[in-house]
Amino acid sequence: MPVIVVANPKGGAGKSTMSLVLGTTLASQGATVAMIDCDPNRPIVDWSAGPSKSTAHVIGDVTESSVISVIQEQSKIRQFVIVDLEGTASRLVSRAIARASLVLIPLQGSAVDARQAGRAVGLIREEEELIERKIPFRLVFTRTSAAIATKIDRKIINSLGEAGIPSLKTHLHERSAYKAMFVDKVTLDELDPANVNGLEAAKENALKLAFELISIVTSAKEAA
């Protein structure tokens, strides 16, 4: 089953938020999902200790020695495996990328994030040489405005596109609901709309992102 690796050597790029939003959204649609938390701060493991009734399975005790076996085991029994990687270039990161069906590289609209995203692409290229196969990847813009893209966002998007670096059409917008998931330790569906602004818009954004992801991995599987 598809292994979705979320990677960026820059901390704070939105890896854990994207992993949690995607994992819980896919699970809410009936998919069996494993979320492997490789972030040293274990934000998704911490989230899983809360009251959420999500069926998404969270695994946190993963090392560079065990990451491949954990991914392989979970991919045999789950429809989706989502791996939230640490924000450094490490052997664990390289090993996880080598097992990816698709790598998602989250980035915000800044020159620093764009450079770090370029480093992530470089890591993927290195693994491709090692395992002698292509590793599909997409950039995913995070914390963007749902209303209108800023000039900086548009400039970065255009420059990356001109460089032939593919990105998802769907952005993960700046939404208070995504932060509330970690605070309340629940899914989007479990949040109280009376306490969270723009909750329905956040759900729609999450679903759109999940459906685009499904489309990509399905097309790749059919092409193979």
What gap in Å lies between CA 86 and CA 91, rounded to an integer? Answer: 11
Could you say which DSSP state residue 57 is in? E
Name the packing angle between helices 151-162 and 111-131 (round to 10°). 30
Determine the structural domain holding residue 28 and report its residue range.
3-223
pTM, full prediction: 0.94
What are the pLDDT digits (tens) for 113-138? 888 888 899 999 999 999 999 999 99
**Residues ≥6 apart with Cβ < 8 Å to 68:** 95, 96, 98, 99
As for how many domains the chain has, the answer is 1
pLDDT tens for each residue of the chain, 224 residues long? 899 999 987 777 789 999 999 999 999 999 999 999 999 999 999 999 999 999 999 999 999 999 999 999 999 999 999 999 988 778 999 999 999 999 999 998 777 888 888 889 999 999 999 999 999 999 999 998 887 767 777 788 888 878 788 999 999 999 999 999 999 999 999 999 999 999 999 999 999 999 999 999 988 776 66
What gap in Å lies between CA 15 and CA 106, rounded to an integer? Answer: 6
Kindly report the CATH number assigned to the domain that includes residue 11: 3.40.50.300
Q: Other CB atoms closer than 10 Å to residue 149's CB: what's the count?
A: 16
